[in-house]
Structure 1
Amino acid sequence: MTLEILSPEKTLFSGEVQRVTLPGAAGEFTVLPHHAPIISSLTAGRVRYLPAGGAEQSVDIAGGFVEVNADRVSVCAG
């Protein structure tokens, strides 16, 4: 699936990943391929992701929201 992590200043990550773990407002949750469509607010925390064929990486965010739809995960971070 494709992950984009965007901040107001720049793109923090864009690429193919196997999974994404996000700091949701109701608690941490993980998105895997073929996840049901959702929109969720995010709290301050760490977005962890596993790039295809790579080691887990992470980005700290101050909050924002995420949209998951058709194997595309878009994170707008504050």
Structure 2
Amino acid sequence: MNLKIVLPNKLIYDGEISSVTVPGKGGVFTILSHHAPLIAILGKGNVTFRFKNGVNNVFINGGLIELNNDKVVICAEQIPENEK
């Protein structure tokens, strides 16, 4: 599954992952490979993605997630300066 995390002014991540956990408006949820298509609003919190060599976290102030055909795009609001 491919994940892209984009901010208004730059690309934060673009690569293959095995899962991503995001802060949805109704609570945290995890997306695995072959998930049904999805569009959702994201809240403030950690985006945690797992890939072959480990795990990474990015804190976002909210945004939007779209998933279709094992391609996940997260359009996030700006990451706070102290989280970069």
Category of TM-score, reference length = shorter chain: over 0.9
Show structure 1 runs of 4+ deviating over 2 A. none
| Counterparts of 1:54 and 1:26, CA distance in 2 | 30
Count of aligned pairs between the two proteins? 77
Q: CA RMSD in A?
A: 0.5
Structure 2, unaligned runs of 5 or more? 78-84
Percent identity among equivalent residues?
Answer: 43
| TM-score, normalised by the number of residues in structure 2 | 0.90
Query: Greater CA radius of gyration, 1 or 2?
Result: 2
Q: Which residue identity lines up with residue 22 of structure 1 in the other structure?
A: V
CA deviations 1:22-69 (Å, max 9, x no partner) are 000010000000000010000010000012x21110100000000010
| TM-score, normalised by the number of residues in structure 1 | 0.96
| Counterparts of 1:28 and 1:54, CA distance in 2 | 23
